[in-house]
Amino acid sequence: MSGPTRAADFADLADDPAPAHVAREPAGRDGEVRGRRAAPAWAEARFGLPLHAPATGVAIGPVRMIHGAAAMLATSVLADSGIEHDRGQYHNPAMFLPLVSSTLSILASLDGATRDEKRAHPLRLASYGIAMTVGLLGTGFHLYNITKKPGGISWENLFYQAPIGAPAALSLSGLLGLAAEGIRHETADRPPTLLGLPAAPALAALTSLGLLGTTAEVALLHFRGNFQNPAMYLPVLLPPIAAALTGDAALRPDRRARPQAKLWLGITAALGVAGVAFHAYGTSRYMGGFKNWRQNVLDGPPLPAPPSFSGLALAGLAALALLERHGDD
Amino acid sequence: MSSDPFERPRAANGRAPDVFKTGGWIPMRQHRDVDEVDFAIVGTGAGGGTLAARLAEKGFSVVAFDAGPYFRPLEDFASDETAQEKLYWNDPRVVQGADPIVMGGKNSGKTVGGSMVHFAMVSLRFRPEWFKARSTLGYGADWPIGWEEMWRYYDQVERDLSISGPITYPWGPPRPRYPYRPHPMNAAAEVLARGCEAMGMKWTPTPLATVSAPRGEAHPCVYRGFCRFGCSTNAKQSTLNTYIPRAIRAGAEIRDLAMVGRIETDAGDRATGVHYHRDGQWRFQKARNVIVAGYAVESPRLLLNSATDRHRDGLANSSGLVGKNLMTQPNQAVYGKSKDEIRWNKGPPSLAITEHWNYDDEKDFHGGYCWMGQGPLPIEWAKTMTTSRGIWGDELRLAMQDYNYQVGVKMVGECLPSENNRVELADQKDRYGLPVAKITFGWSENDKALIRHALDQMEMSMEAAGVTDLFRQEEDANHLGGTVKMGDDRRSSVLDADCRSWDVPNLFVCDGSVFPTVGGVNPSLTIQAIALRTADRIEQLAAHGDL
Ligand SMILES: Cc1cc2nc3c(=O)[nH]c(=O)nc-3n(C[C@H](O)[C@H](O)[C@H](O)COP(=O)(O)OP(=O)(O)OC[C@H]3O[C@@H](n4cnc5c(N)ncnc54)[C@H](O)[C@@H]3O)c2cc1C
Ligand code: SF4
């Protein structure tokens, strides 16, 4: 069995009277598909995720993926802000907030990803809401700190003061979590929505913007590091391609497969993992290498940062999966 | 196990220390004393080390001598102010005059790599007008080189040393972006910046010769602030870990623990080689050309010590100017206490700078100055307290407890040339039996006016930044220059624009002593730019058969 990848498949689907968000199972080459509440085998094959559809009609696969994405981002934030705020010796108690909030976000995501029921849970919603808010506050706080420094918004301060982009990752994690809750919450007669917008394109747009923002921050920090290793160009050059393709999907959310976008999101996800290895190599080039880890993990390139690309890419893949089934209806 | 770098020469038996590896070696080509090499270079510092690399890369055979040892920073440099005095030229010198210069750590190094091994890494370009100070600003002397040409060589040396500097530099004509990004500013630098902002002056993160990200085998800076005592991470881009390894790779030979005592000349006016002391004995290296790069005291001393019947006043001294016009840059400071913790020893000492007063000519004295952040380590700080505030004993002990709250700024200023300030030979001899240098110095009225102005301005800026309990360090000086000056006219200079002696055509001097004026910024970038230019000029002269 394969998913609807050819125009003909979509032509088949176009006549399908079943609500778009209800999982379908192709009944055979004649294309007879009815609203059976089961995971589509093609989705299973494509994403390698167990998609036992519960009796609710929820497309639980994408839900899991988005929770996973939220968890990855939150983990990245937890580790990164843990290291950075530890280095800042928590001189302001507010510096504990992202640690608490990202932990809540991780717990919520784990819970959300392992449950099949169709309802959003108020505690999960609260955790994600907090993450969104703390992220926003953090951005404001970091920005305020910069303006207090001599030179104000200058290269020197953008390079070395608290990063403006980092708290945004926490907001993104919260938003993704809310998205996962949002599409879980859907009912059979309503298309999935996210903050009132059609869920799939909104999620694609969020991913695209998230990727661009993350790339901007990487560009700034790799510029600070003088691109001294040519590999430092990769996370500046590649994710924008995925962002563009995902952004295109958000703007033209017709129901079709997007193998190119998937490929580039896959590459971006892999880059996030490879980035950890590159950063580990970078850390080894600091005085004393890993023997001096207590200093170099603080001073070297941040080990937990790159996986935020993987998290975002995962969210993008989930958006594509949704689009592939629903389009923007 | 590695040998003691002072015990016997390390650069021998076809290899030289690998500065990037504990106990490591790199292969090195060697020459016999009887081989007539193209260039014998005396001194391997900012001038000599840079020239050794460029000349070897151009295909000349080169032997470069240094009286000091060959260190491997990773294994030989301790985080200890006292132990690191091993980097300085502490051999005896006689100082005298109205303001005798304190010689040693503040102004002279004695190691392969020269004074840059313990320099503070501040890497500034001259203000363009200074190259024609006499004709455009009305004081000092003109250089025989124009700023546009120097600008190109500054570009080159900044790339070679991967200078970490601001994205845009606030003063002077445009320059390319610095190869590496600026370093993070420490609290001491922020105080400087706040003071400048309060006074309406520009400031900037300082261009520094220490890398803010890995570079080849050099680790990035770890901000521990031992820079002026030898950087043990190789982050500092000194001659020792930049041009010297390049020189050796290109086929140059470095001879450590090799003190050159005399330049030999033939019956005509040509140098034939150098007498040097190594491994307990005097030897003679034959050379087609000799380059002296021992810095502003040792270079004139060597020329004076190489007098012959034909050159009775010293080699290359028909102008009588060898040793004259000694300049040292005023290095006064204003210090005080901050209410917030500063910990000024964290990081390179001068992470921020203002050159405001170099570019302002509305002053009632000649010359300019800049000031920069400071981070003296505890022993140096204790000495400053005793000399500037006259406190000792319990009072000193108590004052030292404020160490983490102290903050200050220090000037580097322009000293005007005067023939009264000079290097001569003393009657005393050193351990090699060579007459030592006698150094006479006193500030001129103009110098004193400049220092007063700088102290007032620095004090105002510290006050404006909220620093209290201010005091002035009124007596300090650093970088040297002027004693073997270059110029356009053989009567008023020792060297021509190519750093070549007017008298002895195969003798060059290329180091800090060639400066006709010292300007109001730290000199080593300019010394190295001149060395790069000299190498190019030598190549051109050789191509035209003019060497
Ligand atoms: C503490 C300190 C901080 C400084 N900070 C800065 C700074 O921040 N920025 C800046 O631009 N400059 C700085 N300087 C100045 C800069 O280091 C020197 O101006 C520069 O290194 C001089 O270069 P040079 O080639 O003339 O001599 P040096 O670099 O001093 O090299 C001379 C070498 O010649 C050797 N030598 C001398 N005579 C003989 C002989 N007869 N035989 C064999 N070898 C001999 C010496 O051992 C020495 O190694 C600093 C200097 C000091 C001491
Ligand atoms: S602060 Fe940086 S440049 Fe200075 S000694 Fe330490 S590592 Fe070297």
Indicate if A182 and A226 belong to the same structural domain: no
Query: Residue A33's pLDDT band (boundaries 50, 70, 90)?
Result: very low
Hey, are the CB atoms on B181 and A225 less than 8 Å from each other? yes
Hey, are the CB atoms on B214 and A159 less than 8 Å from each other? no
Radius of gyration of chain B (CA): 22
Indicate if A70 and A140 belong to the same structural domain: yes
Query: Residue A187's pLDDT band (boundaries 50, 70, 90)?
Result: low
Phi, psi dihedrals of residue B88, rounded to the nearest 5°: -90, 160
Q: Is residue A43 scored above 70 in pLDDT?
A: no
Q: Are B273 and B279 a contacting pair, CB within 8 Å?
A: no
Helices within B3-143 (DSSP H only):
46-57, 73-76
How far apart CA B48 and CA B179 sit, in angstroms, is: 23
Indicate if A107 and A181 belong to the same structural domain: yes
Q: Supply the ipTM of this predicted assembly.
A: 0.91
CA distances from B195 to A138, A152, A235, B347 (A): 29, 15, 39, 20
**Which atom of ligand 1 is the closest one to the Cα of B523?**
11
Task: Say how many CB pairs under 8 Å bridge A and B.
Answer: 54
Given A156, A225, A295, which is nearest B213 (Cβ)?
Answer: A225
| Residue B111 near ligand 1, beta carbon < 6 Å | yes
Average pLDDT over residues A275-291: 96
- Atom 7, ligand 2: which residue's CA is nearest? B221
Query: Residue A48's pLDDT band (boundaries 50, 70, 90)?
Result: very low
What pLDDT, on a 0 to 100 scale, did the predictor assign at position B258? 98
What pLDDT, on a 0 to 100 scale, did the predictor assign at position B261? 98
CB burial class (10 A; 0-12, 13-18, 19+) of residue A291? exposed
| Residue B228 near ligand 2, beta carbon < 6 Å | no
Query: What number of H helices and E strands is found in chain A?
Result: 13, 2
Indicate if A144 and A210 belong to the same structural domain: no
Nearest CA in chain B to A295: B222
Which of B107, B115, B480, B525, when mutated, tests ligand 1's pocket best, judged by the most ligand atoms within 8 Å of its CB?
B115
Nearest C-alpha neighbor of B294 from the set B437, B418, B181, B457: B437
What pLDDT, on a 0 to 100 scale, did the predictor assign at position A191? 67
Given A155, A228, A282, which is nearest B215 (Cβ)?
Answer: A228
Residues of A in contact with B184 (CB under 8 A): 156, 159-160
Residues of A in contact with B219 (CB under 8 A): 285-287
Q: Is A229 helix (H, G, I), strand (E, B) or coil?
A: coil
How many Å lie between the centroid of ligand 1 and the Cα of residue B105?
10
Residue of higher predicted confidence among B456 and A63: B456
Count of domains in chain A? 2
Boundary of a domain, candidates A173, A190, A207: A190
Nearest CA in chain A to B206: A156
Structural domain contains residue A50: no
Indicate if A62 and A131 belong to the same structural domain: yes
Helices within A149-164 (DSSP H only):
155-160
Nearest C-alpha neighbor of A159 from the set B185, B56, B172: B185
Structural domain contains residue A203: yes
What pLDDT, on a 0 to 100 scale, did the predictor assign at position A190? 64
Boundary of a domain, candidates A157, A175, A190: A190
Indicate if A156 and A212 belong to the same structural domain: no
**B15-543 CATH choice from 3.50.50.60, 3.20.20.70, 3.40.50.10420, 3.40.1210.10:** 3.50.50.60
What pLDDT, on a 0 to 100 scale, did the predictor assign at position B176? 97
Average pLDDT over residues A146-150: 94
Q: Are B481 and B520 a contacting pair, CB within 8 Å?
A: no
Indicate if A107 and A149 belong to the same structural domain: yes
Q: Is residue A188 scored above 90 in pLDDT?
A: no
Residue A115: domain span: 57-190
Indicate if A203 and A185 belong to the same structural domain: no
Chain A CB within 8 Å of residue B373 CB: no
Q: Are B504 and B270 a contacting pair, CB within 8 Å?
A: yes
Indicate if A166 and A62 belong to the same structural domain: yes
Backbone angle region of A57, left / alpha / beta, with phi > 0 → left and psi within -120 to 50 → alpha: left
Q: How many angstroms away from the CA of B212 is the closest CA of chain A? A: 7
Residues of A in contact with B340 (CB under 8 A): none
Tell me the CB-side half-sphere exposure of residue A63, using CA atoms within 13 A.
31
Radius of gyration of chain A (CA): 21
Give me the residue label for tokens 């108020």: A122
Query: β-pairing, B352-354 with B369-373?
Result: antiparallel
Interface residues of A toward B, Cβ cutoff 8 Å, are 149-151, 155-156, 159-160, 223-226, 228-229, 282, 285-287, 295, 299
pLDDT tens, N- to C-terminus, chain B (547 residues):
457 999 999 999 999 999 999 999 999 999 999 999 999 999 999 999 999 999 999 999 999 999 999 999 999 999 999 999 999 999 999 999 999 999 999 999 999 999 999 999 999 999 999 999 999 999 999 999 999 999 999 999 999 999 999 999 999 999 999 999 999 999 999 999 999 999 999 999 999 999 999 999 999 999 999 999 999 999 999 999 999 999 999 999 999 999 999 999 999 899 999 999 999 999 999 999 999 999 999 999 999 999 999 999 999 999 999 999 999 999 999 999 999 999 999 999 999 999 999 999 999 999 999 999 999 999 999 999 999 999 999 999 999 999 999 999 999 999 999 999 999 999 999 999 999 999 999 999 999 999 999 999 999 999 999 999 999 999 999 999 999 999 999 999 999 999 999 999 999 999 999 999 999 999 999 999 999 999 999 999 999 999 8
Query: β-pairing, B435-440 with B94-96?
Result: parallel
Residues of B in contact with A286 (CB under 8 A): 214, 219-220, 222
Indicate if A229 and A133 belong to the same structural domain: no
Query: Residue A193's pLDDT band (boundaries 50, 70, 90)?
Result: confident
Cβ contacts of residue B69 below 8 Å, gap of 6+? B5, B6, B10, B86, B111, B112, B256, B257
Mutate to test the interface with B, among A87, A156, A293 (most CBs of B within 10 A): A156
Residue B15, number of CB atoms within 10 A of its CB: 15
Indicate if A214 and A158 belong to the same structural domain: no
What pLDDT, on a 0 to 100 scale, did the predictor assign at position A192? 74
Q: Are A204 and A218 a contacting pair, CB within 8 Å?
A: no
How far apart CA B447 and CA B444 sit, in angstroms, is: 5
Mutate to test the interface with A, among B167, B168, B232 (most CBs of A within 10 A): B167
How many Å lie between the centroid of ligand 2 and the Cα of residue B233?
7
Nearest CA in chain A to B232: A287
Residue of higher predicted confidence among A245 and A329: A245
Nearest CA in chain B to A158: B184
- Atom 3, ligand 2: which residue's CA is nearest? B236
Indicate if A96 and A179 belong to the same structural domain: yes
Give me the residue label for tokens 């996800």: A269
Q: Are B252 and B30 a contacting pair, CB within 8 Å?
A: no
How many Å is the maximal CA-CA distance in chain B?
69
Given A159, A229, A286, which is nearest B220 (Cβ)?
Answer: A286
